[in-house]
């Protein structure tokens, strides 16, 4: 079973700053099948990135994903107030397709 560990737990940045979120897997993620989701309170989660680096439909290009194997990163190039949310990674290369514990992004 692959365990995903996200860091940091909370990220507090000013608008326009760069946000770097990490997701580390306990074993290599097959096929780099790693997705990132954005989850705002009271809303359904939203798919941002799949296959480690492919942006989902309609996702702004300030969101980008990178990494392979056991280390993956979600970058928000210029943080905007509407990006306040909890971000989760999920691996889907093997079962169970568990989520990381999440990183909360706040605006200073």
Partner 1 sequence: QVQLVQSGSELKKPGASVNVSCKASGYLFTSYAMTWVRQAPGQGLEWIGWINTNTRNPTYAQGFAGRFVFSFDTSVRTAFLQITSLKAEDTAVYYCARGPAPLDYWGQGTLVTVSS
Distance, in Å, from the CA atom of 5 to the CA atom of 83, rounded to the nearest integer, reads 21
- Verify binding: residue 25, partner 1, rule CB under 8 A: no
Candidates 15-23, 24-32, 73-81, 87-95: pick the segment binding partner 1 (CB under 8 A): 87-95
Distance, in Å, from the CA atom of 57 to the CA atom of 60, rounded to the nearest integer, reads 9
Of 50, 63, 79, 83, the residue at the interface with partner 1 (CB under 8 A) is: 50
Of 20, 24, 70, 92, the residue at the interface with partner 1 (CB under 8 A) is: 92
- Verify binding: residue 46, partner 1, rule CB under 8 A: yes
The set of residues, in sequence order, having a beta carbon less than 8 Å from that of 30 and lying 6+ positions away, is 93, 94
Q: Which of residues 56-85 bind partner 1 (CB under 8 A)?
A: 56-57
In this structure, are strands 71-76 and 63-68 parallel, antiparallel, or unpaired? antiparallel
Structure tokens given for 97: 């397709």
Assess contact for 32 and 18: CB atoms under 8 A: no
What are the residues binding partner 1 (CB under 8 A)?
A: 1, 33, 35, 37, 39, 44-47, 50-51, 56-57, 86, 88, 90, 92, 95-102
């Amino acid at each position: 079973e692959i365990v995903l560990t996200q860091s940091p737990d909370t990220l507090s940045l000013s608008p326009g700053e760069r946000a770097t979120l990490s997701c580390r897997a306990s074993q290599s993620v097959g096929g780099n099948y790693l997705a990132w989701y954005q989850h705002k309170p009271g809303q359904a989660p939203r798919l941002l990135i799949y296959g480690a680096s492919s942006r989902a439909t309609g996702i702004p290009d300030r969101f980008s994903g990178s990494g392979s194997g056991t280390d993956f990163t979600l970058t928000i190039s210029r943080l905007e107030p509407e990006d306040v949310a909890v971000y989760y990674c999920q691996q889907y290369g093997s079962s169970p397709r568990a989520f990381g514990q999440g990183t909360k992004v706040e605006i200073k």
